[in-house]
Amino acid sequence: MQPSGLYLQLFSIHGLVRGNMLELGRDADTGGQVKYVVELAKALGERDEVAKVDLVTRLIDDKKVASDYGQAIEPLSDKVSIVRIQCGGKKYLRKELLWPHLEEFIDKTIRFIKLQGKTPDLFHGHYADAGYVAMDLASAFDAPFIFTGHSLGRNKREKLLADGLSEARINKQYKMDTRIQVEEDIMRRADLIITSTQQEVDKQYGLYDNGHHDRFAVIPPGIDLDTFYPFYDFQLDSELLNEEVKQIRFTLFNELHRFWTHPEKPFILTLCRPDHRKNITGLLEAYGTSQELKAVANLAIFAGIRRNITTMEDNEQEVLTDMLLQMDRYDLYGKLAIPKQHDFATEVPELYRICADSHGVFVNPAMIEPFGLSLIEASASGLPIVATNDGGPVDIVGNCENGILVDATDPKEITEALHSILVDESQWSLFSNNGINGVRNHYSWQVHCEKTMQHACQLLPAFKDSMKHQEAQTTVQPSPSYGKRLTNVKQLMITDIDNTLVGDNQSMQELFSLLGEYRKDLAWGVATGRSMELTLEAMTEYNFPMPDILICSVGTEIYYGPDLRHDKGWQKHISKQWNPEKLKEVLSSLDFLVSQEAEGQRSHKVSYYLEDKEENLARVKEQLKKNNVRCQVIYSHGQFLDILPFRASKGKAIDYLRYKFDFPPRHVMVAGDSGNDEDMIAGRARGLVVGNHSEDLEALRGKRNIYFSPKTYASGVIDGLKHYGFM
């Protein structure tokens, strides 16, 4: 069965992502992955079964970068858009600094989904940060979760250790522990992991405890074949050679020719970041020490963009300085071109074609190359390739038979491979043609998307149901996940437990059956001073159905039914300036305070018993103020004293839920009976006070949007629901 009308959400959070003129290489976070996800999103949108694709990334509104990255929605085609979600402020942050802000990203994406009224069928995360986000959303919406790593932490850590960085420095600068931990989780939970090569599965995922299973699919990325067309197309289709292309070629020729005394010779080309792992040194040795090679070809090294080497990062500075020193040592003046600048998006395809036109060779001298996108692009343009026999190039040359693999640690092998192609015209032509044809068969985005969708469709409920049907199984309708449910209902009712929901059994059961009846439009939850454990106890004792939402411990914890999923976004949000140790310390001098039992003490709630005397409460507040403890003090029932983070309370938890799931205030009713319900009843939602309320709430009488029911306990709640037109 072929599903239709699918809505896919792809996530790629870090770096600078936009639809056109990608700034690849501008910084460490804006590279191959950005290009990959933009092209993937566009290509997925071309498929018939796909109705909508969002590429979700971070919104950046920062003078240091173009204003494009601050646009909330950027349409790429009629079906495809880039959606930008703000988190951790608006400044551009490097990816390692985004970890603390991902919960915010998740919450705001849920809100975005609710606002547009359409739930994605599939969540696909790219890299660990976005994987974390997609994983959480997939489980919130009960949808499949697909992951593409692009690169992984464990082998990166090994490389950094090998570079001499200490474990501590690696964790501090790269937040490596967090990343690896998240990657383990992702690998355990992903429904499908897409890799570009088999080596990635074996050598990279293989390093993880959870990296051994069969939910992998090796699907290499595609390249944009309209951009990377063969060099000979100019001769066949003169329209391609328009003014813009002519100008680019002219610039490139000028740039190259100012380095070379014999520009008519073929040239060897390499293109890479100035990183010593790219082994530019090895290539220079291979070229510089071979008279034969120097005689037949020039060399061009495009190693990123540089203005002033002395102001660059250490690693880059070292690589570039070495390059200049080697040029001098091997006396490569007149032979080696090392242009300072190039524009990836427009110049690189022409550069490949100019090199192919010269009957040159593309070389990637890196010792290990995980994939080798530039090798594929060069091949598509008609360049034979020479590359390492470790990693992605093995697949590329295996698929296309378009070049020679070498042991890149041995400069002699590089020399011989390059020389043999350059001096053998028939070999050169065979490799060139094989590359052009092979890339079209193996590395187009159309082929990539076809394979991806084949795998993805097997994960969709429609497909699973049809399989079940064939097995003649009865399908039990599972209750929908909280994300789907809370973004689909219209109204929400939140009630306190003790003395509001419970107190009168008969009306409580009546309320439960009404909630069942109105279930389609109305979700409900409890908000209580009880901890989650004590809430569950009450549920068993009074025989409650599972609420959609549990706001526990006076609003410091939020859970979603039926599987009691903890809202980590809320937890993160209220943690600000919360210092329970200091608070306890400060209050320890007040001997009239009695600590509550262990159940009353939670990560974000410190509770005492306090005898009902006004001056005591005043002394508590004064003591906290005097010591600059930022917090919230809630006193109820003439005996309970709860101290919470300043951002938390039942009312604030409800505001948060209203924001996250986008409920307008008139669609939320809040019911309670006592002082610790006050702030939620007095909030913007519709308030309901039951007839049996305690004195604490009298102050609310007569206020707007607060209804004092004459009826008691759950009868009062039912009365309120009717009063506000919820039923």
Contacts with ligand GLC, residue ranges (CB under 6 A)? 529-530, 534, 554, 596, 600, 607, 636, 640, 642, 676
**Residue 507 beta carbon to ligand GLC: minimum distance, rounded to whole angstroms:** 22
Q: How far apart are the first and last CA of the chain?
A: 41
**Residue 216 beta carbon to Mg ion: minimum distance, rounded to whole angstroms:** 52
Helical axes 713-723 vs 505-517, angle rounded to 10° = 30
Alpha-carbon Rg of the chain, whole angstroms?
32
Q: What 3-state DSSP class applies to 461?
A: helix
CA 566, 489, 693, 502 torsion: positive or negative? negative
**Residue 555 beta carbon to ligand GLC: minimum distance, rounded to whole angstroms:** 9
**Residue 552 beta carbon to ligand GLC: minimum distance, rounded to whole angstroms:** 9
**Should residue 535 be labelled a site residue for Mg ion when binding is judged by CB under 5 A?**
no
Binding residues for Mg ion, rule CB under 5 A, total 5
**Residue 675 beta carbon to ligand GLC: minimum distance, rounded to whole angstroms:** 9
- Please say whether the beta carbons of 134 and 124 come within 8 A: yes
What is the amino acid identity at position 310?
Answer: T
The overall longest dimension of the chain from CA atoms, in Å, is: 101
**Residue 591 beta carbon to ligand GLC: minimum distance, rounded to whole angstroms:** 19
357 contact, one of ligand GLC, Mg ion, none, CB 5-8 Å limit per kind: none
- The C-alpha atoms of residue 257 and residue 261 are separated, in whole angstroms, by 7
**Should residue 499 be labelled a site residue for Mg ion when binding is judged by CB under 5 A?**
yes
Residues 6+ apart with CB under 8 A from 236: none
364 contact, one of ligand GLC, Mg ion, none, CB 5-8 Å limit per kind: none
Helical axes 411-423 vs 280-288, angle rounded to 10° = 60
Task: Give the nearer residue to ligand GLC in terms of CB position, either 29 or 642.
Answer: 642
Task: Give the nearer residue to ligand GLC in terms of CB position, either 373 or 634.
Answer: 634
**Should residue 279 be labelled a site residue for Mg ion when binding is judged by CB under 5 A?**
no
121 contact, one of Mg ion, ligand GLC, none, CB 5-8 Å limit per kind: none
Task: Give the nearer residue to ligand GLC in terms of CB position, either 114 or 602.
Answer: 602
Task: Give the nearer residue to Mg ion in terms of CB position, either 112 or 713.
Answer: 713
496 contact, one of Mg ion, ligand GLC, none, CB 5-8 Å limit per kind: Mg ion
**Should residue 196 be labelled a site residue for Mg ion when binding is judged by CB under 5 A?**
no
Task: Give the nearer residue to ligand GLC in terms of CB position, either 116 or 596.
Answer: 596
Task: Give the nearer residue to ligand GLC in terms of CB position, either 636 or 712.
Answer: 636
Q: What 3-state DSSP class applies to 202?
A: helix
Backbone angles phi, psi at 39, to 5 degrees: -70, -40
* Among positions 673, 678, 696, 719, the unique one binding Mg ion when judged by CB under 5 A: 673
499 contact, one of Mg ion, ligand GLC, none, CB 5-8 Å limit per kind: Mg ion
- Please say whether the beta carbons of 595 and 608 come within 8 A: yes
**Should residue 350 be labelled a site residue for Mg ion when binding is judged by CB under 5 A?**
no
Peptide bond into 100 cis (omega under 30): no
- Please say whether the beta carbons of 676 and 682 come within 8 A: no
Residues 6+ apart with CB under 8 A from 232: 382
596 contact, one of Mg ion, ligand GLC, none, CB 5-8 Å limit per kind: ligand GLC
**Residue 717 beta carbon to Mg ion: minimum distance, rounded to whole angstroms:** 12
**Should residue 498 be labelled a site residue for Mg ion when binding is judged by CB under 5 A?**
yes
Residues 6+ apart with CB under 8 A from 286: 293, 365, 411, 412, 414, 415, 418
- Please say whether the beta carbons of 45 and 76 come within 8 A: yes
Task: Give the nearer residue to ligand GLC in terms of CB position, either 382 or 600.
Answer: 600
**Residue 695 beta carbon to Mg ion: minimum distance, rounded to whole angstroms:** 13
- The C-alpha atoms of residue 233 and residue 352 are separated, in whole angstroms, by 13
* Among positions 109, 674, 709, 715, the unique one binding Mg ion when judged by CB under 5 A: 674
Buried b (16+ CB within 10 A) or exposed e, 501-510: bbbbeebbee
Task: Give the nearer residue to ligand GLC in terms of CB position, either 218 or 534.
Answer: 534
607 contact, one of ligand GLC, Mg ion, none, CB 5-8 Å limit per kind: ligand GLC
Task: Give the nearer residue to Mg ion in terms of CB position, either 175 or 650.
Answer: 650
**Residue 700 beta carbon to Mg ion: minimum distance, rounded to whole angstroms:** 14
673 contact, one of ligand GLC, Mg ion, none, CB 5-8 Å limit per kind: Mg ion
**Residue 62 beta carbon to ligand GLC: minimum distance, rounded to whole angstroms:** 43
- The C-alpha atoms of residue 182 and residue 176 are separated, in whole angstroms, by 10
CA angle 348, 351, 353 (to 5 degrees): 115
Side-chain half-sphere CA neighbours of 534 within 13 A: 18
Q: Which tokens belong to 10?
A: 């792809």
Q: Which residue is nearest to ligand GLC (CB)?
A: 529
Task: Give the nearer residue to ligand GLC in terms of CB position, either 379 or 676.
Answer: 676
Q: Which tokens belong to 382?
A: 């008609």
Q: What 3-state DSSP class applies to 281?
A: helix
674 contact, one of ligand GLC, Mg ion, none, CB 5-8 Å limit per kind: Mg ion
**Should residue 642 be labelled a site residue for Mg ion when binding is judged by CB under 5 A?**
no
Task: Give the nearer residue to Mg ion in terms of CB position, either 404 or 690.
Answer: 690
Give the contact letters, 444-483, x = binds to Mg ion (CB under 5 A), - = no.
----------------------------------------
**Should residue 636 be labelled a site residue for Mg ion when binding is judged by CB under 5 A?**
no
**Should residue 679 be labelled a site residue for Mg ion when binding is judged by CB under 5 A?**
no
C-alpha distances (whole Å) from 373 to each of 150, 370, 392 are 12, 9, 9
529 contact, one of ligand GLC, Mg ion, none, CB 5-8 Å limit per kind: ligand GLC
200 contact, one of Mg ion, ligand GLC, none, CB 5-8 Å limit per kind: none
Task: Give the nearer residue to ligand GLC in terms of CB position, either 326 or 607.
Answer: 607
Alpha helices (H) along 30-175? 32-45, 102-116, 127-140, 153-162, 167-174
**Should residue 496 be labelled a site residue for Mg ion when binding is judged by CB under 5 A?**
yes
Neighbour tally for 413: CB within 10 Å: 19
**Residue 673 beta carbon to Mg ion: minimum distance, rounded to whole angstroms:** 5
Task: Give the nearer residue to ligand GLC in terms of CB position, either 290 or 528.
Answer: 528
554 contact, one of Mg ion, ligand GLC, none, CB 5-8 Å limit per kind: ligand GLC
What is the amino acid identity at position 230?
Answer: P
642 contact, one of Mg ion, ligand GLC, none, CB 5-8 Å limit per kind: ligand GLC
**Residue 640 beta carbon to Mg ion: minimum distance, rounded to whole angstroms:** 10
Helical axes 314-329 vs 280-288, angle rounded to 10° = 0
**Residue 665 beta carbon to ligand GLC: minimum distance, rounded to whole angstroms:** 24
640 contact, one of ligand GLC, Mg ion, none, CB 5-8 Å limit per kind: ligand GLC
CA angle 67, 69, 74 (to 5 degrees): 105
- The C-alpha atoms of residue 507 and residue 573 are separated, in whole angstroms, by 37
Q: Which tokens belong to 385?
A: 């390739």
Pairing of strands 361-364, 336-337: unpaired
- Please say whether the beta carbons of 483 and 141 come within 8 A: yes
Task: Give the nearer residue to ligand GLC in terms of CB position, either 505 or 639.
Answer: 639
Write out the residues near Mg ion by the rule CB under 5 A: 496, 498-499, 673-674
